[in-house]
Structure 1
């Protein structure tokens, strides 16, 4: 994912997620999407994988890297890092054009430098979708997701540029599907929560790009303006569980006051408390961890739907009815 075009690329990935056949056509089997913006921390590389899923014919993990420009050195290095980090799998690199030197270097790497069952597909993205992405990028995230979910967007045109196939056709991976995370540690609980949140509200970019330290008891997500945050704590040192909307910058007091009025009007919850620049949802201590996660995500989604229109108005983002 590029830095300047990150939101537009995120929108493209949402379209691909909702239309997995666009990926399946290149990889010799059905693609099942598992996670967007998956964080990988190997011994030598720390990186986000734009799209992560499985191909079930060979039971192989699929890694998708997308960019809205011509293939460049930074993305080339990232694709190389993925190749070096994994033991097997399928990699798709999507760009508007490719350099022959990248193709040759990756061919040599896969054929002569390493001995791993990895297939690489370099896929061309037609420029015809870029205008639509520009339009969607000016809209709020809820409106964008509604258009994608309801099939009101034109699908991108993808074509194969180069296939470098090493995996034998009868190969079967022994890797097990990565379905769940352990819920016995703070890091495991937080990672699983973020994964569930991304699945429930896939359009919420700040969940996908969260820089939270997962070893801490609190996870903080930006809400769209500086100093306005969502705070999640699944278990503090006293076993308590809570979810907050908080304001830490007084210069956004006006927007927070608007949000507070809407919450008071629309939210009905017995364990809701309003304190100094904080709206706090608390949960019974006898809730098990899965119940805590689902309960917080219910309220998280509700607040995003209430808060986003106010934040969009503040940021001058178009709202399409």
Structure 2
């Protein structure tokens, strides 16, 4: 996980998520069902998936520094939580005492866990830093390809690693049959459509937890105190997209409200500004519509929200000339 609000580690992980053959080739694995920032045993896993041939879970932890205490603690907790699987630990370098501690933790147990130590090539950092701080946040996804210019991005450290024959019964099967009477399926279908049609909004790429009982899905909007909220159906049978402002963010809300009429032209007359809640909302009746039809409309509205409001939410006036992009729906 990145520190100080930086997306550097997430950008690195996302590039591997989009190009899994990088890990597959270097580690001789076959990965499927990859997810970003999955919750597991109370931990947030940078990337999670299934090794299809071995039938075991794969957990990837990344740090764009030398191995440190915080990541060491997380990996020790992860080892305690699993009985079988593959852990891939990627860092610029590894401290000997941490390597020994992790190896001992596994070898002194009866757990069938393989541990891959993988070094990250620092030549990647120039591109990562450009994407993190020199690229408009809605343009990062389409420019991930610049990281592919580094020919040897990672290297397996075989002498450190624990690689033994293991076999499990885990299999990834792509979801094709959706049960729209099931809330988890409805939420997963909505997230799938958001990821496929608006992949450049990186918050959608992160896996959400508790989808089986969550009626409203929250997505960070890149700034503390601002959230994009979506639901296929609330308690009043409405579907909606909302941009909610909390903490120190109300000034951004009122700045956007100065262009309320323009916003309605771009998104629709159903758009409302709720001053008492510092919320911009677009809702419509979901009852009588199919889930697919409702989701199609929600995704369309969500994209208009993102394109219209991102510049104001993500960048202040002082950054306007340097970073702002003119999008089709931008205010």
Q: Name the TM tier (shorter chain).
A: 0.7 to 0.9
Structure 1 portions without partners, runs of 5+: none
Q: Select which of 105, 116, 124 maps to 1:121.
A: 116
CA distance in 2 between counterparts of 1:295 and 1:110 reads 49
- What is residue 108 of structure 2 aligned with on the other side? 112
SS at match of 2:75: helix
Matched residue of 1:98: which SS?
coil
Question: Is 1:255–2:249 an aligned residue pair?
Answer: no
Q: Deviations over 1:184-209 (max 9, x none)?
A: 56566546644654555444344466
1:26-77: CA deviation from partner (whole Å, max 9, x where unpaired) = 432322352111122x3xxx11111112222213222111111000111112
Give 5+ residue unaligned stretches, structure 2.
327-331
1:73-131 deviation line (CA, Å, top 9, x unaligned): 11112122222222322111110000122222222222221332x22111001111222
Equivalent residue number for residue 19 of structure 1? 19
TM-score (norm. length: structure 1): 0.81
CA distance in 1, matches of 2:325, 2:282: 31
Q: CA RMSD in A?
A: 3.2
**Partners in 1 of 2:308 and 2:77 — Cα distance?**
40
Q: Residue in 2 aligned with 1:10?
A: 10
TM-score scaled by length of structure 2:
0.79
Q: How far apart are residue 20 of structure 1 and its match?
A: 1.0
> Secondary structure of 1:141's match?
coil
Contact preservation (8 Å) 2:233, 2:286? no
1:71–1:96 contact (8 Å) kept in structure 2: yes
Match of 1:157 in 2: 153
Q: Which of 123, 127, 132 is the aligned partner of 1:132?
A: 127
Match of 1:177 among 165, 172, 181: 172
Q: What is the alpha-carbon distance in structure 2 between the residues aligned to residue 61 and residue 262 of structure 1?
A: 49
User: Secondary structure at 1:142's aligned position in 2?
Assistant: coil
The change in CA–CA distance for 1:147 and 1:124 in structure 2 (over 3 A counts) is same
